[in-house]
């Protein structure tokens, strides 16, 4: 008799702490802690427009970094790690708000067009 192994598919309890982002760990998305160096931590905080103090459990997902911000630890590893000089620069809170404004503007224009027809 052959045993079958059950695999559990549960969501990680750790989520991205960036405003407007709700990513969690998946095979495509990794989460990264804030750097311990105070200067780099400040750069991250400023870039991400953090309004709360940075806590130990806060994470930033890989979606907020460019591909060149990562390196692979070994030849056979698929784990991506951030370079020490990496600063979040993608899908920032201001970008999210601008995208939301764009959507609202398009929606209002479409609504006006529908009323004028």
CA dihedral 67, 98, 55, 22 (to 10 degrees): -70
This prediction has a pTM of 0.69
Query: What pLDDT is attached to residue 12?
Result: 57
Query: pLDDT per position in the chain (117 positions), as tens?
Result: 555 544 445 455 789 999 889 899 988 899 999 999 999 999 999 999 998 899 999 999 999 999 999 987 777 667 788 999 999 999 988 776 666 676 777 766 666 666 666
The three-state DSSP-derived secondary structure of the chain is CCCCCCCCCCCCCCEECCCCCCCECCCCCCEEECCCCHHHHHHHHHHCCCCCCCCCCCEEEHHHCCHHHEEECCCCCCCEEECCCCCCCCCCHHHHHHHHHHHHHHHHHHHHHHHHC
């Amino acid at each position: 008799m052959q045993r079958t192994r059950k695999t559990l598919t549960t969501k990680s309890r750790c989520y991205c702490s960036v405003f407007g982002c709700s990513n969690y760990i998946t095979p495509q998305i990794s989460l990264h802690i804030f750097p311990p160096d105070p200067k780099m931590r400040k750069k991250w905080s400023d870039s991400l427009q953090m309004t709360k103090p940075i806590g130990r459990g806060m994470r930033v997902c890989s979606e907020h970094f460019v591909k060149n911000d990562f390196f692979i630890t070994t030849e056979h590893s698929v784990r991506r790690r951030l370079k020490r000089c990496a600063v979040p620069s993608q899908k920032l809170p201001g970008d999210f708000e601008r995208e939301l404004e764009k959507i609202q503007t398009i929606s209002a224009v479409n609504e006006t067009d529908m009323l004028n027809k």
